[in-house]
Amino acid sequence: MTTKIDKADPVDTPPPAPENIKAIPVRHYGRWITAVVAITLIVTLVMAFARGDVNWGAIPDYFFDKEVLRGVRNTVWITILSMALGVVLGIILAVMRLSKNPVTSSIAWGYIWFFRGTPVYVQLLVWFNLGLVFNYINLGPIYKDEWSDFMTPFLAALLGLGLNEAAYMAEICRAGLQAVDEGQTEAAQALGMSHAKTLRRVVLPQAMRVIVPPTGNEFINMLKTTSLVIAVQYWDLLQATTNVGQNTGATAEMLFLAAAWYLILTSVLSVGQYYLERYYARGSSRSLPMTPLQRIRVNLLSGSNRQGGVSA
Amino acid sequence: MTAMVKAEGVHKSFGAVQVLKGIDLEVAPREVFCLIGPSGSGKSTFLRCINHLEKINSGRLYVDGDLVGYRQKGDKLYELRDREVAEKRRDIGMVFQRFNLFPHMTALENVIEAPVQVKKETKAVARERALKLLDRVGLADKAGNYPSQLSGGQQQRVAIARALAMEPKLMLFDEPTSALDPELVGDVLDVMRGLAEDGMTMIVVTHEMGFAREVGDSVVFMDDGVVVESGHPREVLTNPQHERTKSFLSKVL
């Protein structure tokens, strides 16, 4: 009986805890020394920048400048669109590469070989300068225009980044699809599911667990790679800040500003990636790990409990 | 009465390795048919041929009077399209050694997946039957659990419920208890015993000689790709005629 009451209300009568060991902990002098050295180096670096001829005030002044914001918007926009193009095309290429049809799998292989084997910067320039070899674009009755009007900086940036990304996404998706146990396909087929349904309902959702983390990395990478579209004169964040820098003379300051914006954007993406990974991990482990918010809440609660226990 | 499964000279090889070397057998409707034999004797391969997870190289294999994987017109054989093969598989339930539950779906979602996606049943109808099936295998309270939250025995019982949800006329069991802890084997065998009592036609590849003796209507002993001995469990298991059967049984019993 008494044990039952104990369990119901542990605060009133705490169970007799075994005595904790009291020992002199090992002193880690090495850790203290490295910490001091590291902090000294950082302080020196900060001081150097503080003493340098940097017009820090220019950064907040132009942080929300209209042109800079337009650059931010364009950077986010081209990142999302290129990634969307890359993911969709990547999935198609991965399925083609794994298909039993030797023609489609060879085409996919060739695509990946070409687009992964040449620098993205070169690809961007090639798209932009294709007008040198094509005067017109002629899609029969659907569309006809002069090449220079058709290949805008936006389209060149989108094709250059998106088609390049597709090659990487294809390999990521292929790895994901191949990571799913063959027994899963067999079980689905034994139930009478078609190939397409097996892929969509059983294999892909499980492949996502393998695909999402590297795709998150690709997304963050893409955001930074968009700074190359300055080569095709697309008005992205770097182009905007460079422009402001040239007009105001605060060139270095505007680069710091661009770096700050890129950091903010990649941080936001990292948080999104965390929650997406968590979603696709469902069923793979017995219980999902807590989100940072949940962890903070639990820590606060247990902290107050512990205090209660001590005071009792 | 047509046999539920009929095999005539079934051969199967993987590359140069011949796994099945001419299997002839018949399984009657409502029969519990146990396949026993050492590892690598071709039992599982034969089972997988029945729902065309493996293609046979020669011979004929019939399920409920229909050729497996082919259509015969005159004396010519035409391969079935993937869609037609899938259609035939709906009537054949299969339970795997390693369960193969879909890990991203709860037990209930596993059971309703095929009826909803393949048979186009409404979710409500499928759900109602799924809950009954889960109750039947003793897991009514685990409907919302993911496979990783279930023990091996529970997972295998969900897998049986998943196969039953398609209302098959034939159930194939591929060593359903071999991956289980000994103490969990009983629950799965109880469910299978109940199925047998309800008159389900079952082909069971198993190492559980007790189950074969009590529940089986006939037992086939396979070794090295051929049927060595077959008959009523009592005869085959207690009074084997062939040396090979005797030595196998002396090791497992």
Query: What value does the mean pLDDT of chain B take?
Result: 94
Mean pLDDT of A192-216: 91
Query: What value does the mean pLDDT of chain A take?
Result: 86
Residue appearing with tokens 């011979």: B59
pLDDT of residue A303: 55
Residue B85 pLDDT grade (very low, low, confident, very high; cuts 50, 70, 90): very high
Nearest by CB to residue B89, choosing from A190, A195, A283, is A190
Measured in angstroms, the CA of A204 and the nearest CA of chain B are apart by 11
Please indicate whether, in this complex, the C-beta atoms of A186 and B96 are within 8 angstroms of each other.
Answer: yes
Closest chain A residue to B162, measured at CA: A191
Report pLDDT digits (tens) over A66-81. Answer: 999 999 999 999 999 9
Residue A111 pLDDT > 90 = yes
Q: Of all residues in chain B, what percent carry a pLDDT higher than 70? A: 100
pLDDT of residue B54: 94
First-residue to last-residue Cα distance in chain A: 22
Closest CA to B173 of B197, B152, B203, B196: B203
> CB-based contact (8 Å) between A94 and chain B?
no
Residue A306 pLDDT > 50 = no
Measured in angstroms, the CA of B250 and the nearest CA of chain A are apart by 33
Return all residues near A218 (Cβ < 8 A) that are at least 6 apart: A83, A86, A165, A168, A169, A172
Report pLDDT digits (tens) over A211-225. Answer: 988 998 999 999 999
**Runs of H (alpha helix) within chain B:** 43-50, 82-89, 107-117, 123-136, 152-164, 182-197, 209-215, 233-238, 243-252
> CB-based contact (8 Å) between A242 and chain B?
no
Nearest by CB to residue A183, choosing from B100, B114, B149, is B100
* Burial of A25: CB neighbours in 10 Å, binned 0-12, 13-18, 19+: exposed
Between CA B73 and CA B53 the distance in angstroms is: 23
Three-class secondary structure of residue B5 per DSSP: strand
pLDDT of residue B253: 72
Dig out the tokens for B122 from the structure: 């409404």
Residue A4 pLDDT > 80 = no
Closest chain B residue to A181, measured at CA: B100
Dig out the tokens for A65 from the structure: 């400048």
Measured in angstroms, the CA of B58 and the nearest CA of chain A are apart by 22
Residue B236 pLDDT > 70 = yes
Report pLDDT digits (tens) over B11-47. Answer: 999 999 999 999 999 999 999 999 999 988 999 999 9
Q: What is the DSSP letter of A198?
A: I
Return all residues near A256 (Cβ < 8 A) that are at least 6 apart: A54, A59
Report pLDDT digits (tens) over A260-271. Answer: 999 999 999 999
Report pLDDT digits (tens) over A143-167. Answer: 888 877 888 899 999 999 999 999 9
| Cβ contacts of A188 on chain B, cutoff 8 Å | 102
pLDDT of residue A82: 96
Report pLDDT digits (tens) over B127-147. Answer: 999 999 999 999 999 999 999
Residue B166 pLDDT grade (very low, low, confident, very high; cuts 50, 70, 90): very high
Please indicate whether, in this complex, the C-beta atoms of B86 and A286 are within 8 angstroms of each other.
Answer: no
Residue A295 pLDDT grade (very low, low, confident, very high; cuts 50, 70, 90): confident
Nearest by CB to residue A191, choosing from B114, B146, B149, is B114
Please indicate whether, in this complex, the C-beta atoms of B86 and A193 are within 8 angstroms of each other.
Answer: yes
CA distances from B103 to A174, A284, A286, A290, B143 (A): 20, 7, 11, 20, 14
Residue A16 pLDDT grade (very low, low, confident, very high; cuts 50, 70, 90): confident
pLDDT of residue A307: 46
Q: Of all residues in chain A, what percent carry a pLDDT higher than 90? A: 56
Residue B1 pLDDT > 90 = no
Closest chain B residue to A188, measured at CA: B114
pLDDT of residue A289: 65
Closest chain A residue to B113, measured at CA: A201
Min mean pLDDT across A125-134, A167-176, B4-13, B69-78 is at A125-134
Min mean pLDDT across A85-89, A194-198, A298-302, B40-44 is at A298-302
Measured in angstroms, the CA of A177 and the nearest CA of chain B are apart by 15
Q: Of all residues in chain A, what percent carry a pLDDT higher than 70? A: 89
* Burial of B153: CB neighbours in 10 Å, binned 0-12, 13-18, 19+: buried
Please indicate whether, in this complex, the C-beta atoms of A191 and B90 are within 8 angstroms of each other.
Answer: yes
Residue A14 pLDDT > 70 = no
Please indicate whether, in this complex, the C-beta atoms of A190 and B94 are within 8 angstroms of each other.
Answer: yes
Residue A47 pLDDT > 60 = yes
Nearest by CB to residue A202, choosing from B88, B102, B159, is B102
Residue A312 pLDDT grade (very low, low, confident, very high; cuts 50, 70, 90): very low
Nearest by CB to residue A193, choosing from B92, B104, B118, is B118
| Cβ contacts of A278 on chain B, cutoff 8 Å | none
pLDDT of residue B105: 94
pLDDT of residue A51: 86
Residue B79 pLDDT > 70 = yes
Measured in angstroms, the CA of A279 and the nearest CA of chain B are apart by 10
